[in-house]
Amino acid sequence: MQSRSGNHAKGIDVSHWQGVIDWKQVKNAGYSFAFLKATEGPKLVDDRFRINAQGARAAGLLTGAYHFTRARNAAEVKAELEHFVQTVDSAGGLGAFKLPLAVDIETKEGGTRENITAIAQEWVKQYKQQTGRTLMIYTYPDFIDTSLDGTLGNVPLWYAYYSSRVPANKGGWVSWEFLQYTNKGSVPGINGNVDLNEYKGSEAELLNAYDTPDPGSKGSVPQWKEAGRQWLIDHAGISADWKAEDPLDIGTLGAILAKYYGVGGRQKRRVKRRLSLKIGVFPSRFGEESMPNVQCPTYCRVCYMEGGNGMSGVVGGVGCYNPFASTGAILVLFILLVIITRSFWL
């Protein structure tokens, strides 16, 4: 593997053990990135994760998040992954974390080398299936030697390696993406020891690799679930050449709701069967093929259901908008008021 270099970008990784952090001091001390502990096992959430994510990003550091796994089989990987992704969603969504998300694999609860390797492979596979992104593995030399079989070399490695010697190739890995080189670092703005890391290239190379606009952020128009677009064409009078939006433009949403949330005649019965509006905190995805909207976790969701045949899905959603910014938004608020006041007898 490659050696450390004084030209490499510097970073840290932290958890609740570091307590309150002055992120501006960290940034001013020359650190470019931070990995933040998010979760552990199927239920634990690091109680400083959301605060650290907000503070680090506000100070200008690139952030990543990691999960400490205790999974022993594929089913437990699935449960832990859902817990991890939901927690990340609550702190801005996948797109807000510019650096890769990582799974910390360093316990032998999975049993044999064969089974622990299979668990690591499940993490990589399931994360890719759920998010479309590549997971990074955090581990250390002795664990690779005793618990992994050398088939993970194509997965990005966050390597905990504390020797001053150049690290040897190990477990199929011939390079590392990030290197954690000590757990006894001292950084302005942090009380006590902290893990220190470096990226495989310079700060400019780090920014070039990871600090890119998220394709799903507000203002872009990636395709969301095709069935939702087709439903609007078939049932809402939307033109067949209409370009799908995710999130939906607030004016578009207002027009759709105005059509289907009528207050008279049979229209209200069509509403209950065909189209519904859900408001609240959701994971920042509106369909299997959509991309994350990273602005905030609060959305309106337009959902559709096809009568009795069981077909249903999410048409689209709106997140983090100024409710008084457009006539469409005002229309949405009016419709919501009508829905609430009439929901008792619809």
Question: CA 267 to CA 265: how far, in whole Å?
Answer: 6
Q: CA of 216: how far to CAs of 98, 223, 261, in Å?
A: 13, 10, 28
Catalytic pick among 47, 106, 211, 234: 106
Catalytic pick among 13, 40, 46, 245: 13
Q: CA of 94: how far to CAs of 51, 131, 145, in Å?
A: 16, 8, 32
Q: CA of 213: how far to CAs of 35, 95, 97, 299, 320, in Å?
A: 19, 9, 11, 21, 18
Q: Is 13 a catalytic residue?
A: yes
Residue 96 DSSP class? G
Helices (H) and strands (E) counted in the chain, each on its own, are: 10, 12
Q: Is 40 a catalytic residue?
A: no
Helices 267-274 and 250-260: crossing angle in degrees, nearest 10, is: 120
| Residue found by looking up tokens 């594929």 in the block | 74
What does the radius of gyration of the chain's CA atoms come to, in whole angstroms? 23
| Residues annotated as catalytic (active site), given as ranges | 13, 106
